[in-house]
Amino acid sequence: MFELSSSPSNTPPPTSSSPSNYLCLYFSMEPKLHLFFSALCFYLVSAYGNTLRTYIVQLHPHGVTSSSFPTKFLWHLSFLDQTLSSEEDSSSRLLYSYGSAMEGFAALLTETEIELLRGLPDVVAVRPDQLLQLQTTYSYKFLGLSSTTDGAWVKSGFGRGTIIGVLDTGVWPESPSFADQGMPPVPKRWRGMCQEGQNFKATSCNRKLIGARFFIKGHHVSSVPPSENMVDEYISPRDSSGHGTHTSSTAGGVSVPMASVLGNVAGVARGMAPGAHIAVYKVCWFNGCYSSDILAAIDVAIVDGVDVLSLSLGGFPLPLFDDSIAIGSFRAVEHGISVICAAGNNGPIQSSVANIAPWIATIGASTLDRKFPAIVRMGNGEYVYGESLFPGKSLPIAEKELELVYVTGGNSGSEFCFRGSLPKEKVKGKMVVCDRGVNGRAEKGVAVKEAGGAAMILANTEINLEEDSVDAHVLPATEIGYAEAVRLKTYMDTTSHPRARIVFGGTVIGTSRAPEVAQFSARGPNLYDSTILKPDVIAPGVNIIAAWPQNLGPTGLPEDTRRVNFTVMSGTSMACPHVSGIAALIHSAHPGWTPAAIKSAIMTSADASDHRGKPIMDGSKPAAVFAIGAGHVNPNRAIDPGLIYDIKPDEYVIHLCTLGYTRSEIFTITHRNVSCSEKLKMNRGFSLNYPSISVAFKHGVKSKMITRRLTNVGNPNSVYSVQVKPPEGVKVRVKPRRLIFKHINQSLSYRIWVISRKKTQTKKISYAEGQLTWMNAHNSFHRVRSPISVTWK
């Protein structure tokens, strides 16, 4: 995931030194840190070496032993008192005490101590801390948002009054995207704070950025030291890597005129919900995001009073009872908070989609119809298409014809342009071809420049194919797709003195098909729950322009001395805050709606076609539901969906029972002690009221019946008729075929019979897809569409 979403430089994480050595070194650099960490350092080095590790200990929320203690904190501490030796101060091992996202705590423990702890009353589960990774001047226009038409912005007051909580790398509060001119007062219900720290004062917050906190304890006790060429980290809510500033401004940044990246893509920058308030929770540091810190932030955000939580982070899919984000977000949803998460950047691998809990909105990434042409004119007169954000159009010297060189051979990694791998005598003054992969895209340009190269062509390999994430390189450069890379290298191999020049074309809008699925966007099917289709939707996530901190150049590399207020990034990290902002718009327009209702509105209004009315593409083929879910977000239709599929928290519990989860596993996830046999007996034939429909036929099963319930949020006296496009090899029956709603908020149910006509023995596993749409008889705007996914195993 680092290549696509940790920062524009795509710098890989460091991998040296022990956590304990790092802890002491880091404290020596920051002497003002809390004494807690000094004591912790002493334990790590002198007493326990590397045997201590962070664990998250989950407790029963109504534990029988809790009544013996005046506070939850002391109750949590008592478990350590019973586990550690009598001469130790148990508070020095405690990192966090949780009470909202989960009942329990995070602490440093050895494996022996963990075994003792597991045997104590009221201990529900013990999980090791997990390391997760991070996953615009135009995108709001691409999505149809406008201040002059009666769409989502006008109907929601631009998100006025809604609070978006962003869990990420922090924020650069001085960015013009977080100015508060014209913003309404801070909502009276807000209970958060502006936490002071290194280079961050309480006055850094305002009516736009109303809260900022940082959570570092899990990171500090588990991390290796930063490498020498990394940007210094701020021990505060201040963003040192840019990722959090970028995502926060995408979700809710205010209008900034004349925004550009080194003169490119000039225009008005706006977030999806420019009238919403933003609260930032810094949980990600130079090497990633620890689940103990994430859980602590969710715990606090629930109490603070956020309406939407945006998490552009994750990893690979996990069982829900092992997934701290799933557990914490369930409690958030119970409190009426919409939780929006990135699907992950491990596409196009099947079943790579992360953040798969049904109460989470899981967002994949798509492209825009905006291009940054930087075309290579080869010495034979032929052209190779590429793209770049290097400002070469205004620099004639950047388009000078140069000798081409591609340095291969040996074990130095010169074909990837590692730093120090390029012989100066071979590349000086030349245009260097670098294969994409292994090290960061922009970092390759630094390597070429350090070796004396004059320009670079970044060539995609078979892994990246035609994916076109652009960068504001430190020297004249362009990125070309795999097919074009083959053409370029063939020219070089058949020419004694190959030459080329780059022709920079600036910004071009509207000439390409869009949206398309980003190649890196994680794919389904859902690894742990075949009845829930993931991702839920896709949103713009490729070459997104948004706010950027002033401690970094546009590439995010320490060597880049240029300074900008905006830069470009790609990843599902960028797609996620688009939907977080849209969720904020819906919340502002419909403050009484549940998170499930908001999610339903986003899913059932999504587009299955691109802006030309043709199928959304995934490379060279039409995109499948495992790539796009319900489709591409359409905020102007989501704000007024007509009908919604609502879900109560209790229904998620029944759903977990249908999946065969044990009582203890369900309790771990939901803090609810249930008897699944009783739940299923009372809810025979239960199916979760999810906006998409996913059916898995196991061997010998030929038909399934599914129930859904629609609630009218449009007009009274509305009539809807169903239209079905059945998946291939499947017959679909719906009863009734018409729904007559007399009142607003009236709910009506229907049944779907999915009947397989396929001979399952022909393949080990196969898929088919279709769709079911409820059409308003008197209003063509209200089309409530659900994708149908069918799997044979």
Neighbours of 613 (CB within 10 A): 7
The SS3 assignment for 241 reads coil
Amino acid identity at 95: L
Integer Cα distance of 466 and 300 in angstroms:
42
DSSP 57: E
Neighbours of 91 (CB within 10 A): 13
Give one DSSP letter per residue of 309-342, joined into a string: EEE-EE-S---GGG-HHHHHHHHHHHTT-EEEEE
Extended beta strands in 566-674, E state: 566-569, 617-618, 621-622, 643-644
Instruction: Say which DSSP state 110 is in.
Output: -
219, 220, 243, 655: which is the annotated catalytic residue? Answer: 243
What the block records as the tokens of 22 is 């790092």
How far apart CA 766 and CA 330 sit, in angstroms, is 32
Residue with tokens 């290097």: 390
Is the separation of the CB atoms in 699 and 793 below 8 Å?
Answer: yes
Work out the end-to-end distance of the chain between its first and last CA atoms, rounded to an integer number of angstroms.
30
Task: With H, G, I as helix, E, B as strand and everything else as coil, classify residue 112.
Answer: helix
For residue 389, give the nearest of 458, 438, 451 by alpha carbon: 458
Contact assessment for residue 136 and residue 575, using Cβ atoms and an 8 Å cutoff: no
How far is residue 424 CA from its own chain's centroid? 40
Neighbours of 295 (CB within 10 A): 28
Alpha-carbon span 793 to 753, nearest angstrom: 19
SS3 501: strand
- Helix axis angle, 572-589 relative to 595-604, nearest 10°? 110
Residue 106: what residue type?
Answer: A
Adjacent-strand bridge partners of 712: 643
Q: Which amino acid is at 674?
A: V
Do the Cβ atoms of 407 and 414 come closer than 8 Å? yes
Question: How many CB atoms lie under 10 A from the CB of residue 456?
Answer: 30
573 is catalytic: yes
User: From the candidates 129, 168, 293, 536, which is the catalytic residue?
Assistant: 168
Cα R_g (the chain), whole angstroms: 27
Q: Which three-class secondary structure state does DSSP give residue 478?
A: strand
Burial of 541 (0-12, 13-18, 19+ CB in 10 A): buried
**Catalytically annotated residue among 223, 573, 718, 786:** 573
User: Going along 412-554, which residue ranges are E strands?
Assistant: 431-435, 455-459, 477-480, 499-504, 508-509, 537-540, 544-547
CA distance 520 to 215: 29
Q: What amino acid is encoded at 10 in this protein?
A: N
Hey, which residues are catalytic here?
168, 243, 573
